[in-house]
């Protein structure tokens, strides 16, 4: 607990040093259909000269009932974004700027980064729940499942009777398709997929508005992954919460997400509706990423992946962070950093891209202009 308070203190003290705003300032009020609005969020790991910029002014909106996919390679900042937005970032991570607006169930608007510890504690889990990476191992091995679920309910719903809590726990287990008698089981008696479902049940215990899932299926095999993913979509349809789904598997995201944001080196480089993004990628990195998954159906073709290595955050290239690996890199890419905006060459509603190729239709290669 001490580490967390220390970290929160560090966050608060460092907040004034906000970087200059690059985009038109967004409206102070949260739009009606949004539940979460992340504005210009910046995160550093470490202090002073050795600090590494893990997130650079990332803005992201989450609509009500929407499944938002966050994709990118390891180290691109996708998990950092989720943890920073919920103020769960472990030290040495420091939030250096930005705002996170959130609308609670009662319609009240909160700015998560400026809430007091007590207010934050009330919001977390009941309004905003997280399923962590490797969640199967986040259950306590020495307690029965029932105790761990009841604990969470008891903290947030202290007025409930024991009977009410028990009923809720049983209801939750049925919700995720596990027989209620398995509440008596210890975590080791459940399979990996079942443990993951228990974690989802616990996250949903207090009917949150937002469910953040950090690589929830990476440790599972494909059959179990399909089961879990189907379950999440079904639960969303039934309960109407919003989901932020973080993964490196873009092909999985395209199937389940409504909207996808692709991250590279701490920035969002492309964002748009899932289907559109898959059919017509606009950023060379997105295109490369989609071409890195060998297809299971259709003609068999020679694929190359993306040349080079993912960037080292401590030693980032100048200009566009992707230019050393980009097949279409120009002179401008080396020196000037592109801005995430609606493509001037190919304007489409709801899609933004950060790439200089989109400045002029003449520059845009055939592959990215479809």
* H or E element, residue 244: strand 242-247
Q: Which listed residue (154, 174, 191, 335) binds another protein by CB under 8 A? A: 191
Q: How far is the CB of 362 from another protein (least distance, A)?
A: 28
Please list, residue by residue across 135-146, b when 16 or more beta carbons sit within 10 angstroms of its beta carbon and e when fewer do.
bbeebeeeebbb
Give the gyration radius of the chain's Cα atoms. Answer: 21
From the CB of 209, what's the least distance to another protein, in Å?
A: 25
| Residue 52 interacting with another protein (CB under 8 A) | no
- 250 forms part of the interface with another protein (CB under 8 A): yes
For residues 222 and 225, give the distance between their C-alpha atoms in angstroms, rounded to a whole number. 5
Tell me the HSE value of 287 on the side-chain side, using a 13 A CA sphere. 18
278 binds another protein (CB under 8 A): yes
- With binding defined as CB under 8 A, does residue 276 bind another protein? no
Q: Binding marks (x or -) toward another protein, 303..342, rule CB under 8 A?
A: xxxxx-xx-x------------------------------
With a CB cutoff of 8 Å and minimum separation 6, the contacts of 221 are none
Which region, judged by CB under 8 A, interacts with another protein, from 45-53, 100-108, 216-224, 328-336? 216-224
Number of residues in contact with another protein under rule CB under 8 A: 41
Which residue, 57 or 288, has its beta carbon nearer to another protein? 288
Q: Give the Å distances, CA to CA, from 357 to 235, 291, 367, 368.
A: 40, 19, 12, 9
Strands 352-353, 267-273: pairing kind: antiparallel
Q: How far apart are CA 339 and CA 23, in angstroms?
A: 9
Are the CB atoms for 174 and 180 separated by under 8 Å? yes
According to CB under 8 A, which residues from 57 to 86 bind another protein? 73-74
Q: How far is the CB of 161 from another protein (least distance, A)?
A: 35
Instruction: Select from 51-59, 150-158, 189-197, 238-246 the region that touches another protein (CB under 8 A).
Output: 189-197
Q: Which residues bind another protein (CB under 8 A)?
A: 73-74, 191-194, 221-227, 230, 248-252, 254-255, 278, 288-289, 292-298, 300, 302-307, 309-310, 312
């Amino acid at each position: 607990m001490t580490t967390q308070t220390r970290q929160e203190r560090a966050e608060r003290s460092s907040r004034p040093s906000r970087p200059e705003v690059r985009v038109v300032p967004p409206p102070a009020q949260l739009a009606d259909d949004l539940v979460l609005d992340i504005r210009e969020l910046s995160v550093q790991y470490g202090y002073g000269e050795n600090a590494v910029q893990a997130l650079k002014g990332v803005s992201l909106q989450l609509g009500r009932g929407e499944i938002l996919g966050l994709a990118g390679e390891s180290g691109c900042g996708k998990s950092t974004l989720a943890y920073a937005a919920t103020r769960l970032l472990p030290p040495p991570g420091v939030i250096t700027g930005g705002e996170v607006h959130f609308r609670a169930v009662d319609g009240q608007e909160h700015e998560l980064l400026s809430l007091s510890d007590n207010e934050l504690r009330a919001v977390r889990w009941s309004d905003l729940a997280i399923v962590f990476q490797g969640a199967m191992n986040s259950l306590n091995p020495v307690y029965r499942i029932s105790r761990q679920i009841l604990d969470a309910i008891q903290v947030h719903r202290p007025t409930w009777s024991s009977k009410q809590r028990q009923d809720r726990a049983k209801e939750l287990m049925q919700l995720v398709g596990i027989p209620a008698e398995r509440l008596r089981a210890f975590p080791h008696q459940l399979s990996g997929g079942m443990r993951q479902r228990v974690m989802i049940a616990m996250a949903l215990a207090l009917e949150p508005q937002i469910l953040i899932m950090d690589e929830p299926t990476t440790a599972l095999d494909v059959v179990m992954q399909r089961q879990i993913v189907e379950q999440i979509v079904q639960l969303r349809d039934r309960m109407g919460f919003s989901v932020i789904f973080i993964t490196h598997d873009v092909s999985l995201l395209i199937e389940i997400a409504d909207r996808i944001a692709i991250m590279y080196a701490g920035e969002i480089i492309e964002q748009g509706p899932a289907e559109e993004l898959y059919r017509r990628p606009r950023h060379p990195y997105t295109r490369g990423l989609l071409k890195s998954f060998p297809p299971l159906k259709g003609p068999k073709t020679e694929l190359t992946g993306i040349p080079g290595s993912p960037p080292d955050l401590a030693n980032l290239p100048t200009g566009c962070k992707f230019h050393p690996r980009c097949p279409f890199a120009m002179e401008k890419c080396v020196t000037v950093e592109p801005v995430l905006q609606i493509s001037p060459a190919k304007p489409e509603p709801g899609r933004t891209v950060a790439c200089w190729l989109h400045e002029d239709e003449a520059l845009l290669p055939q592959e990215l202009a479809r």
